[in-house]
Structure 1
Amino acid sequence: MDKKILLISTSPFPYGNASSNTMITYIKGFNENGGDSELVCLFPNLKPIYKIAPQGVYEGVPYSYLLNKVHFSSNKILRYCELHFFVIFKFRSFIRKLAKKYDLSVIFFTHTNRSFYIFSAICHYYKAKVVFTACEFPEYIKVIDDNNRRVRFKKYCKFIDQFVFETKTLEENYKSLLNDKMDSIVIPATMLFEDILECKKTTTDSYIAYCGSIHSDEKDGLSNILYAFADFHKDNPHVKMIFVGRISNQDYQYKLREIVEKNKMQDSVVFTGEINRSVYVNYLVNASLLVVAKGANSYYTGGLSSKVVEYLFSGNPVLMVASDDFTYYLTHNNNVFFINDNLPETISDAFSLLFSDSNMRHRIGTNGKDFAYHNFNYHNLCSELYKFIK
């Protein structure tokens, strides 16, 4: 039988979270190696502002929404049925059909919970290999960590045949939770990078950029970035601060804008909002410095931030807290500029130091780009992953 790899996501595509980028690179990488792969979104949970076909090809990636629709029904009863019943019946039929025709592997981009247990059990029943990807510590345990939940978590993982972890730390964490000898591989976060490498600098304006969706201080640390910039800007009025990307939390945006207004930085701080990919990449490549200020003890830990990987490919210096497994990959003052915490004064001091030495910024940025190309290149990583799954 021919081999087929199915990627299953509970997030919408292509306008979902960072996992959308990972799934694109997986499919591109698999198909480069002669694979046959496609993406299926379990739920019609695309935000109403987006209008796309329920099936098609995006960035060379064949995708479909399982229920042949991209938005949930407005009727509450129908919505409940779509979420809890229709999708299970359709998934069972879908997997049964493919398993008859192919040697099937199913890669899940989901949380480990009761729903995942049902979907993985269906795959197991029809002899499809179940592959689970983990980019952060398990949500089910992070919310409440007690013995009963650990027992249930182990049950939910019962039908997983192979694991794909973003970091060695995650792999060790899952092994401690499952107390099991697992078949696993560590594949760092993967991102599309060709358009970043092709983009040329077109401006000499100096600005610090945060590129990516705006969500929360726990995930992004943007309040502290603003407080740091307010202090730094007093002596560096020519430098701007630009937040590039979609704002997924409006209340959080209001909080950030209050900080801007309180410090009278309206002319120096820009929020672009959602923009197309080419404009996004242009901001990324033309920045003088790229920053992310997620704390070392953030709720969102364990994996490798795809944002940082994207930053590195830009060739611009990256300022970040020394956290997660990036400390095992990157070297301070060589291919990244690490700080010990995300306090405003720490960030401000780093801003001042980096802008006092353009040669340092250039060296760190150039080395970071070279490191990313040789260590976070999705063509190489996905080839390795394809061989593992196959």
Structure 2
Amino acid sequence: MGKIQYWLFGKFCRRIDGVMPITPSLSEFFVDEFGIAREKVQTINMIVDSTRFDSVRGDKRKSTIAYCGTISEKKDGISDLLKAFQIVLTRYKDATLTLIGDFESSVTRENVYALLKTLKIENNVLITGMISADEMPVFLSEAKVLALSRPQNMQAKYGFPTKLGEYLMTANPVVITDVGDFRLYLKDREDIVYAAPDNFTDFADKLLWVLDNYDQAKIIGMKGRQVALDSFNYRIEAEKVLDFIFK
């Protein structure tokens, strides 16, 4: 966005009746950057439909680490995840990594397949491509660990990945990089396991900790599910939207 476009966008924002950002940080951005009155800003948390997971449980967990979403570098740090997984394989040789989704571009596809060969892990990585909405809860619930190695950047600072809600709803352990507003909702080693962003060795260490301490990690996963039910509940957030519009 150019300077003129940015100025016009700010001018537009100051004239609107209200704005509903997805994170507290983004709410503060609209207040501080564009001077929008605080009472005109209401954070609406990311939501997840818990009913999609009611009949799906990971009782038959596969020995796989899973990621879902658009396979990307800038947004989700796919190369860090692959490098971390290579380290995991040195101890858990039968582990697999399942990447659920399609690539953001042909360039990313080429880079990922080249990295798989360089790391010599192609036989342990499954790339599903696009799957149906009905299949997604099954794939996620069957995984032993769910992972998101999001790098530290502007999108991570102000955004919130909707996939995290689905990760948490499985009650499986989740390893995620410590970026954005995650800590406002989730505590390390209580509801989730954090890794340092842009550090694949630390991400590998956290994956290994989960696998080494899986009984404890399962308890963390169950507590994470409760956080999702409490903080990312579509009914609660819908009420907030209605209250904000009609107050």
TM normalised by structure 2 equals 0.92
CA contact (8 A) 2:196 2:203 kept: no
The answer for the alignment partner of 1:157 in structure 2 is 13
Match of 1:188 among 45, 68, 74: 45
> Aligned equivalents of 2:240 and 2:36: distance in 1?
23
The answer for the alignment partner of 1:83 in structure 2 is none
The answer for the alignment partner of 2:171 in structure 1 is 315
SS of structure 1 residue aligned to 2:111:
helix
SS of structure 2 residue aligned to 1:180:
coil
CA contact (8 A) 2:177 2:194 kept: yes
The answer for the alignment partner of 1:245 in structure 2 is 101
CA contact (8 A) 2:63 2:96 kept: yes
Q: Which aligned pairs between 1:197-216 and structure 2 lie closer than 5 A?
A: 197-201=54-58, 203-214=60-71, 216=72
Match of 1:324 among 174, 180, 189: 180
Q: Which blocks of at least 5 consecutive residues in structure 2 are unaligned?
A: none
More helix by share: 2
> Aligned equivalents of 1:218 and 1:248: distance in 2?
10
Match of 2:117 among 254, 261, 279: 261
- Does residue 343 of the first structure (1) align with residue 199 of the second (2)? yes
Query: Deviation above 6 Å: which 4+ runs of structure 1?
Result: none
The answer for the alignment partner of 1:333 in structure 2 is 189
SS of structure 2 residue aligned to 1:276:
coil
CA contact (8 A) 1:190 1:309 kept: yes
Q: Identify if the C-alpha distance between structure 1 residues 152 and 204 changes in structure 2 by more than 3 Å, giving closer, same or farther.
A: closer
Q: Identify if the C-alpha distance between structure 1 residues 291 and 204 changes in structure 2 by more than 3 Å, giving closer, same or farther.
A: closer
Q: Which aligned pairs between 1:97-116 and structure 2 lie closer than 5 A?
A: none
CA contact (8 A) 2:167 2:174 kept: yes
Aligned residues: 245
CA contact (8 A) 1:245 1:280 kept: no
The answer for the alignment partner of 1:106 in structure 2 is none
More strand by share: 1
CA contact (8 A) 2:97 2:125 kept: yes
- Over aligned residues, Cα RMSD in angstroms? 1.8
The answer for the alignment partner of 1:97 in structure 2 is none
- Does residue 168 of the first structure (1) align with residue 24 of the second (2)? yes
Q: Identify if the C-alpha distance between structure 1 residues 221 and 298 changes in structure 2 by more than 3 Å, giving closer, same or farther.
A: farther
Shift of 1:317: 1.0
Shift of 1:316: 0.8
> Aligned equivalents of 2:29 and 2:65: distance in 1?
35
SS of structure 2 residue aligned to 1:365:
helix
Shift of 1:241: 0.3
1:265-301 deviation per Cα after TM superposition (whole angstroms, max 9, x unaligned): 2221000000111222111111111111112235443
- Does residue 384 of the first structure (1) align with residue 228 of the second (2)? no
Q: Identify if the C-alpha distance between structure 1 residues 291 and 219 changes in structure 2 by more than 3 Å, giving closer, same or farther.
A: same
SS of structure 1 residue aligned to 2:122:
coil
Structure with the bigger RCO (C-alpha within 8 Å, sep 6+) is 2
> Aligned equivalents of 2:139 and 2:154: distance in 1?
27
CA contact (8 A) 2:66 2:146 kept: yes
Shift of 1:362: 0.4
Amino acid at match of 1:198: S
Rg larger in structure: 1
The answer for the alignment partner of 1:20 in structure 2 is none
Amino acid at match of 2:93: P
- The share of aligned pairs that are identical, in percent, is 23
